[in-house]
């Protein structure tokens, strides 16, 4: 069994930043990278809204730089997955997929949230080539182009409205015959002239040679009125929600109705003393790399204070 003062679970901007700060504070910490080292940013291409990179930076390169910075400062980064963890008493004990166990005085959960996809093979085929789950991250690349947003809730309406200021036209692909969004968001979408809502419509595929050039759609799927048709688009945005990666916690930490970890509001502390949460796993609102990095810093400082107060 390996022992550490702080176990950091997850390796996106939040996890790597937490590792940098704990290491600089002289706290022995171990970061377990998880199933997707680097997190969701490794699935994007150029990132243009992370401060310090006026020409943008590739998502994989940014995450690798953060990783190397942490290692360069002396952090221990372990390529493994936390299968389960016992938070019933301190020190906490984590079981790794490789069979190792880690005993930790504090834990920072930075496992992120995974975007929900439709399950189409074409979503994988065009990942980073026209398919995105973050309009704020990638919308800039579609200035004066045509895009589609899948979803009918508040998030979809917000993304469509945001994209309407950049793209020449925005389709909203809504499988129901109504929007689930709040009345205010529905009004905002309906008042935007370059947003067209396609109700009762499902996506069955995407097409294009070197990237997304269009979508195969079906209206009134599974009924006698079924109609297949195509639309020409340059970008395809998923806005059907995210699933926080918290299954391994086994219900030991309080979550909100969306499954995100609850923190106390002023710090990153969770319902379990000594356990802190950072990044998208505790952020249903912003979901930005810079915001995640900021909470990684906060979680490390919170863990440092907790260790100082609890010996």
What is the Cα 272 distance to its own chain's centre? 23
From the candidates 105, 138, 234, 280, give the one annotated as an active-site residue.
Answer: 138
From the candidates 134, 280, 283, 302, give the one annotated as an active-site residue.
Answer: 134
137 a catalytic residue:
yes
138 a catalytic residue:
yes
3-state secondary structure the chain: CEEEEEEEECCCHHHHHHHHHHHHCCCCEEEECCCCCCHHHHHCCEECCCCCCCCCEEHHHHHHHHHHHHHHCCCEEECCCEEEEECCCCCEEEEECCCCEEEEEEEEECCCEEECCCCCHHHHHCECCCEECCHHHHHHHHCCCEEEEECCCHHHHHHHHHHHCCCCEEEEECCCCCCCCCHHHHHHHHCCCCEEEECCEEEEEEECCCCCCEEEEEECCCCCCCEEEEEECCEEEECCCEEECCHHHCCCCCECCCCCECCCCCCCECCCCCEEECHHHHCCCCCCHHHHHHHHHHHHHHHHHHHHHHC
134 a catalytic residue:
yes
From the candidates 137, 280, 283, 302, give the one annotated as an active-site residue.
Answer: 137
Integer-rounded Cα Rg, in Å, for the chain is 21
Q: Active-site positions?
A: 134, 137-138
């Amino acid at each position: 069994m390996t022992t550490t003062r702080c176990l950091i679970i997850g390796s996106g901007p939040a996890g790597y930043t937490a590792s940098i700060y704990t290491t600089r504070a002289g706290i022995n910490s171990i970061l377990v990278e998880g199933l997707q080292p680097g997190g969701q940013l490794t699935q994007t291409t150029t990132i243009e809204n992370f401060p310090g990179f006026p020409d943008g930076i590739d998502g994989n390169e940014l995450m690798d730089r953060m990783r190397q910075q942490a290692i360069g400062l002396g952090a221990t980064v372990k390529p493994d997955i936390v299968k389960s963890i016992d938070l019933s008493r301190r020190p906490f004990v984590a079981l790794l997929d490789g069979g190792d166990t880690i005993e930790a005085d504090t834990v920072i959960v930075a496992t992120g949230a995974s975007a929900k996809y439709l399950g189409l093979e074409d979503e994988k085929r065009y990942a980073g080539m026209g398919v995105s789950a973050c309009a704020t991250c990638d919308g800039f690349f579609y200035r004066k182009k045509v895009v589609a947003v899948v979803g009918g809730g508040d998030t979809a309406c917000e993304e469509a409205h945001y994209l309407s200021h950049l793209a020449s036209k925005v389709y909203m692909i809504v499988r129901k015959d109504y929007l689930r969004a709040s009345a205010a968001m529905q009004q905002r979408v309906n008042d935007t002239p370059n947003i067209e809502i396609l109700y009762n419509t499902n996506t069955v595929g995407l097409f294009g040679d070197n990237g997304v050039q269009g979508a195969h759609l079906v209206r009134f799927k599974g009924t006698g009125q079924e109609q297949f048709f195509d639309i020409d688009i340059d970008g395809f945005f998923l806005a059907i929600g995210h699933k926080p990666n918290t299954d391994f916690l086994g219900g030991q930490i309080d979550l909100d109705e969306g499954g995100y970890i609850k923190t106390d509001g002023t710090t990153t502390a969770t319902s379990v003393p000594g356990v802190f949460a950072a990044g998208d796993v505790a952020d249903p609102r912003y979901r930005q790399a810079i915001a995640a990095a900021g909470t990684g810093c906060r979680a490390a400082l919170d863990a440092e204070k907790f260790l100082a107060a609890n010996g």
